[in-house]
Amino acid sequence: MIARRVSALLAVLSFIHPVLSQAKVYRDIKVGDYSRYGAQFDISDCGGKTFLTFMKEKIYPAIETQFKNTTVGNHIDGVKRGQGVELRLSSDVTTYHVKFEPYWEEKAERSGRSFSAVGKNQREPDYVADASYKHYLSSLQEVYEKDPDDLPDFYRAVLGVIATCDASGFSKLSTKTKQVAADFVAVYVAEQYRHLLGGKGQKLGRSHNWDDALLQVTMLASFHAGQADNAQGMFYEGRYTSDVYNQLLYDSQKNKYCVYKQLNHPKRAQSERRGFQFIDYWQFNKKCDRSGVNVTRSDFQKMGKAITSWMERNQRDVSGSLGRDIRSRGNLYQGIGRFFISNSAPEKFGERGELLVNKIASFLTSVNENAQEITESLE
């Protein structure tokens, strides 16, 4: 069953983007000398503060400063030249952030790329990925279908980075799951940089809260991992369903159309729906010129609210304790995002941070274990 679902997923992805998984993963890349040409950081430089504090104090200023050192060429060439910012998470996990523009540049929020790298030889890593949403979401689905037991440790690893800059959880992950966790951090840094642009690096802006969208959708993976193979579904265009449209539709002249939330679009009547995949939290806007998981915010928040509602009725001990800690109810997914990603978030959690990470991981595990009953309540 799992093999059939993975094959179906790859067929869908190849329709969306040719050779999607392979196109964004690089082999035999030799990373440039960041100590000479760029800026280097180790996660320990954070000093146990929250990752948001680390971003504001060190990573954001370095990314902004490194812009003036950018040379011509594509983004992966920047990694090869050691340009931009290197953030080392462990002895075998690193992220690179290249060609991001400062806030005063027009459309700065659309600039830059982030790469994840995994391998013992950090200058010639085994895995280097352009951590796009397409690649990340499909890879995360592959993990929760093939290695669902890895999910709790995956969540502890990435949440540990967010809460206390603790990347020690990466050592517990299998190679594939470690790659996906590295992809998450790479995308998270990129999106948090964009979120900080509106506040000129000093605070989060009022728009581009794409880091929050990434976190909320990532946490929903535990629910979908627990759904029965024949009962996969999501909130799509405001209602719960198991059938969706491809992100991109084409006519006979190969013109592309994006129909998400375009209920009266004529191409919808000419197109067949397909089964839900985790990548469907990533969508295009009407013009097909912007994409991301934030496009589906109204839907993933309905999903989070529905799950929370069920948990508050049936697993009150788990949801209630977490809700009190993060001062949230109604939608714990949204509450977790706001707790860690807001201008009122503390600079440091201390020992409380580890307790919060474990509570969130326990909540997500409970959601996973009850996913089939939650799904039945939605159908």
DSSP string, 303-317: HHHHHHHHHHHH-HH
CA separation for the pair 151, 221 (Å, rounded): 9
Question: How many helices and strands in the chain, by DSSP H and E?
Answer: 16, 14
Residue 180 host element (H or E): helix 175-197
Tokens, residue 378: 């939605």
Q: pLDDT at position 357, please?
A: 98
User: 297 in helix, strand or coil?
Assistant: helix
Q: Are 10 and 23 in contact (CB under 8 A)?
A: no
Q: Are 55 and 189 in contact (CB under 8 A)?
A: yes
Q: pLDDT at position 201, please?
A: 95
Interacting residues of 38 by C-beta distance below 8 A, sequence separation 6+? 32, 66, 69, 82, 83, 84, 85, 86
Tokens, residue 266: 């004529």
pTM exceeds cut of 0.85: yes
Tokens, residue 358: 């474990």
Q: Both ends of the chain: CA-CA distance in Å?
A: 22
DSSP string, 226-244: HS-GGG--EEETTEEESEE
Q: Output helix, strand, coil percentages for the chain, rounded to the nearest 5.
A: 55, 15, 30
CA-to-CA dists, residue 208 to 149, 199, 204, 292, angstroms: 33, 11, 9, 11
Residues of the chain with pLDDT under 70: 1-23, 72
Q: pLDDT at position 8, please?
A: 44
